[in-house]
């Protein structure tokens, strides 16, 4: 049974760095083709893709946020970590992690329940 | 402004058929397969269609997808009230070297 769960602070201050952890089970990120991605959704708005890491440790980032994002994995712990620097109120959103089972077309077949992050002083 | 363009909303009566369009460009839909997601209110998105027209296990065959040129479509037949949700298309973009989503379409079943 595949599950993913996001964890991290619910509230961060402007200019701070956000660190989110995706803890998963039921699959291995060392299996060829498997990837984990982060997606966010501001309240009442659309989904926005943030970053992706694959089984081979290749990393891909949203062009608009690339300078602020870092994605990494700990295969032994079944975790993927996303850091986002210089947080701003516009970064207030629900952050999801999701699994890609086999590379392209990069379809997210399992999602976490999401974690709401509010950026406010 | 999303890279993939969807109508903000569509509506149709129960038991009817509706289509949701997703327009892109040669660097995304023109070259790569499209996936569709359904997001019920207050829930995480759910994979609805992948690789343009394939249905994950457990997804009703009332849903179908297609892709032609730089556009894709999601069709829902036999509309039910439980289909009221937001629907998103997504595809890899070779120019951006990343994944892009549509702006989402809110489906209302009248």
Residue A37 has pLDDT above 90, yes or no: yes
Of A48, A109, A114, the CB nearest to B56: A109
Give the C-alpha separation, B66 to B75, whole Å: 8
Largest distance between two CA atoms of chain B: 40
Buried b (16+ CB within 10 A) or exposed e, A39-71: bbbeeeebbbbbbbbbbeeeebbbeebeebbeb
The stretch B75-80 carries a mean pLDDT of 97
Beta bridge partners, B63, equal: B76
pLDDT, position A74: 96
The alpha-carbon gap from B37 to the nearest alpha carbon of chain A, in Å, equals: 9
Other beta carbons within 10 Å of A9: 13
Give me the long-range contacts of A42-45 (CB less than 8 A, separation at least 24). A42/A90, A42/A92, A42/A93, A43/A92, A43/A93, A43/A94, A45/A93
What is the distance, to the nearest Å, from the Cα of residue B90 to the centroid of all Cα atoms in its chain?
A: 8
pLDDT, position A91: 98
Largest distance between two CA atoms of chain A: 43
Residue A114 has pLDDT above 90, yes or no: yes
Contacts of B45 in chain A (CB under 8 A): 39, 47, 96, 108, 111
The alpha-carbon gap from A5 to the nearest alpha carbon of chain B, in Å, equals: 12
The stretch B68-85 carries a mean pLDDT of 97
Tell me which chain A residue has its CA closest to the CA of residue B37: A108
Cβ atoms of A47 and B85 within 8 Å: the answer is no
pLDDT of A70-112, one tens digit each?
Answer: 999 999 999 999 999 999 999 999 999 999 988 888 999 999 9
Give the C-alpha separation, B56 to B102, whole Å: 20
Percentage of residues in chain A having pLDDT higher than 90: 95
pLDDT, position A104: 81
Query: Does A47 touch chain B if contact means CB atoms closer than 8 Å?
Result: yes
Give the C-alpha separation, A14 to B50, whole Å: 38
Tell me which chain A residue has its CA closest to the CA of residue B106: A46
pLDDT, position B90: 98
pLDDT of B53-76, one tens digit each?
Answer: 999 999 999 999 999 999 999 999
The mean of the pLDDT values for chain A is 96
pLDDT, position A105: 83
What is the distance, to the nearest Å, from the Cα of residue B78 to the centroid of all Cα atoms in its chain?
A: 17
Tell me which chain A residue has its CA closest to the CA of residue B90: A107
pLDDT of B31-45, one tens digit each?
Answer: 999 999 999 999 999
């Amino acid at each position: 049974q595949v599950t993913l769960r996001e964890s991290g602070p619910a509230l961060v201050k402007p200019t701070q760095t956000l660190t989110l952890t995706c803890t998963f089970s039921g699959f291995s990120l060392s299996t060829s083709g498997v990837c984990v991605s982060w997606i966010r959704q501001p309240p009442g708005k659309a989904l926005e893709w943030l970053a992706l890491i694959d089984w081979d440790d290749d990393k891909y980032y949203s062009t608009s946020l690339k300078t602020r994002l870092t994605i990494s994995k700990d295969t032994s712990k079944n975790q993927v970590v996303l850091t986002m620097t210089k947080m701003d109120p516009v970064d207030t959103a629900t952050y999801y992690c999701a699994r890609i089972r086999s590379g392209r077309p990069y379809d997210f077949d399992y999602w976490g329940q999401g974690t709401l992050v509010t950026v406010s002083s | 402004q999303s890279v993939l363009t969807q109508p903000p909303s569509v509506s149709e009566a129960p038991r009817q058929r509706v289509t949701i369009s997703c327009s892109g460009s040669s660097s995304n839909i023109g070259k790569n397969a499209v996936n569709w997601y359904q997001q019920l209110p207050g829930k995480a998105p759910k994979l609805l269609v992948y690789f343009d027209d394939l249905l994950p296990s457990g997804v009703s065959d009332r849903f179908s997808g297609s892709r032609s040129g730089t556009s894709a479509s999601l069709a829902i037949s036999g509309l039910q009230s439980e289909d009221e949700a937001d629907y998103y298309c997504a595809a890899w973009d070779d120019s951006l070297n990343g994944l892009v989503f549509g702006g989402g379409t809110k489906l209302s079943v009248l």
